[in-house]
């Protein structure tokens, strides 16, 4: 009889401990794994970003290196007049602002204040509205605007990247 009471007490103790543990997990008192669906989306996002970056390196990076890196990376090639006081600060501020929006120094996804999707949409918008490079920069740097072929290449890359990202987060 005593043995049965000990077994019943042990069984009830185990049930109470399990109940308390599962209750604590449900209330966030312990770290637990994210839902499987969330992990799958995260893995799909990583895979998509790797694919978008591979295409970026193969098709777009050379265009951006020639046309965008002076203001949107840490690899700046400043003109001779960058040494002139006042102009130097102005150009440095423009470059800092450009890198704040999109910093292309470390491939895709770019650093800056936007998500990868935001960046791709901003690139498409600047191509459509022809806002990059800015008008004054184009005046001072002949040949800095993207050619029609370059525009199409970049636009298609951004379009494909957006489609991949939207397939993950419709």
The pLDDT averaged over each successive group of 10 residues in the chain (170 residues) is 47 42 43 55 89 97 94 89 91 92 94 92 95 89 93 98 86
Q: What is the pTM of this model?
A: 0.72
Reduced to 3 states (helix: H, G, I; strand: E, B; else coil), residue 162 is helix
DSSP-derived letter for residue 33 is: P
A 10 A CB-CB count for 159 gives: 12
pLDDT of residue 84: 92
Which residue pairs, CB below 8 angstroms and at least 24 apart, start in 97-106?
98/71, 98/72, 99/71, 99/72, 99/73, 99/74, 101/72, 102/72, 103/72, 103/73, 103/74, 104/64, 104/68, 104/69, 104/72, 104/73, 105/73, 105/74, 105/75
End-to-end CA distance of the chain: give it in Å, rounded.
63
Query: 27-50 burial, b if ≥16 CB within 10 A, otherwise e?
Result: eeeeeeeeeeeeeeeeeebeebbe
Reduced to 3 states (helix: H, G, I; strand: E, B; else coil), residue 34 is coil
pLDDT of residue 42: 87
pLDDT of residue 168: 81
Please, where are the H alpha helices in the chain?
A: 2-26, 36-55, 61-67, 69-72, 87-101, 116-129, 135-140, 148-168
- Identify the CA nearest to 165 among candidates 124, 112, 135, 136: 124
């Amino acid at each position: 009889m005593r043995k049965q009471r000990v077994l019943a007490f042990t069984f009830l103790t185990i049930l109470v401990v399990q109940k308390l543990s599962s209750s604590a997990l449900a209330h966030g008192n312990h770290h637990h794994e994210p839902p499987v669906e969330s992990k799958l989306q995260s893995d799909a996002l990583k895979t998509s970003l790797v694919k978008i970056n591979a295409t970026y390196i193969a098709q777009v990076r050379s265009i951006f290196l020639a046309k965008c890196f002076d203001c949107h990376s840490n690899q700046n090639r400043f003109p001779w007049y960058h040494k002139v006081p006042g102009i130097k600060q102005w150009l440095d501020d423009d470059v800092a602002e450009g890198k704040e929006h999109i910093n292309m120094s470390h491939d895709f996804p770019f650093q800056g204040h936007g998500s990868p999707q935001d960046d791709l949409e901003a690139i498409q918008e600047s191509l459509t509205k022809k806002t990059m490079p800015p008008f004054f920069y184009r005046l001072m740097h002949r040949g800095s605007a993207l050619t029609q072929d370059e525009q199409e290449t970049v636009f298609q890359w951004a379009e494909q990247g957006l489609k991949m990202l939207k397939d993950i987060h419709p």
